[in-house]
A and B are shown apart, each in its own frame.
Chain A
């Protein structure tokens, strides 16, 4: 398993602004993932972030809106840009730690006014 922390744990932001979410892991991992969990809905994969390469985005998510950095094997950031109320959600990072198992951070609860 892996111990994952996220900052901030929650935030309230104004529309049109941007927020950067940090994800820190206690061990080196190759693959990290960013998910969104909207109220009453399932987790949806935003992108996969591997160290040393560009993030791979899922259909419906674009780099201009959700830029991701992965500077080393223990850290990643997700920025939610030009926010609107529809971006209000819980954002989760996860890591591949095991054969196929993903382990999740505690999440960042974002509210956009």
Chain B
């Protein structure tokens, strides 16, 4: 069964304290892996697409990496405005179907 698991469920960081969020997946065939940011009361905001093991993408304080079984979202020197829920999704090969994880709720304290 295709499945996406994110950890930790929640994470509290001090401003400037770097950390990583994990997304592990089991899928029959991977077309792509996606990271989204979701603020309370809003829809998910697209961050990154990763297609193959070894690929990395960066945007400001965020860097996403991909292996054959998991992806990491690294947050370097986070700021309070980085507080949000971060969602991971995989696209099954041959379909447009996304399977989402339950997300990591990140809180960055000033």
Which residues of chain A have a CB within 8 Å of any CB of chain B? 1, 4, 31, 33, 40-45, 48, 58, 92, 94, 96, 98-107, 109
Known A31-B96, A42-B87; judge A104-B43 contact (CB<8 A).
Answer: yes
Interface pair B100/A42, CB less than 8 Å apart: yes
0/1 interface trace, chain B 55-89, chain A, CB 8 Å (1 if under) = 00000000000000000000000000000000101
**B25 proximal to A (CB < 8 A):** no
B102 contacts A45, C-beta separation under 8 Å: no
- A-B residue pair count with CB separations less than 8 angstroms: 57
User: A4 vs B36: C-alpha distance in the bound complex, in angstroms?
Assistant: 16
CB of B38 to closest CB in A, whole Å: 9
Task: Judge whether B97 and A107 touch: CB under 8 Å.
Answer: no
Contact in complex: A42, B42 (CB < 8 Å):
no
Output the nearest chain A residue to B9 by Cβ-Cβ distance: A40
Please name 8 pairs of A and B residues whose Cβ atoms are closer than 8 Å in the assembled complex, sorted by A: A4-B43, A42-B87, A58-B97, A99-B49, A100-B31, A104-B36, A106-B42, A107-B43
Contact B101 A42 (CB under 8 A): yes
Q: Is the CB of A100 within 8 A of B91?
A: yes
Contact: A48 with B96, CB < 8 Å? yes
Across-interface contacts of A33 in B (CB, < 8 A): 96, 98
Beyond A43-B98, A102-B98, A109-B41, 11 additional pairs, beta carbon < 8 A: A44-B100, A58-B97, A94-B43, A98-B49, A100-B31, A101-B49, A102-B96, A104-B43, A104-B45, A104-B46, A107-B42
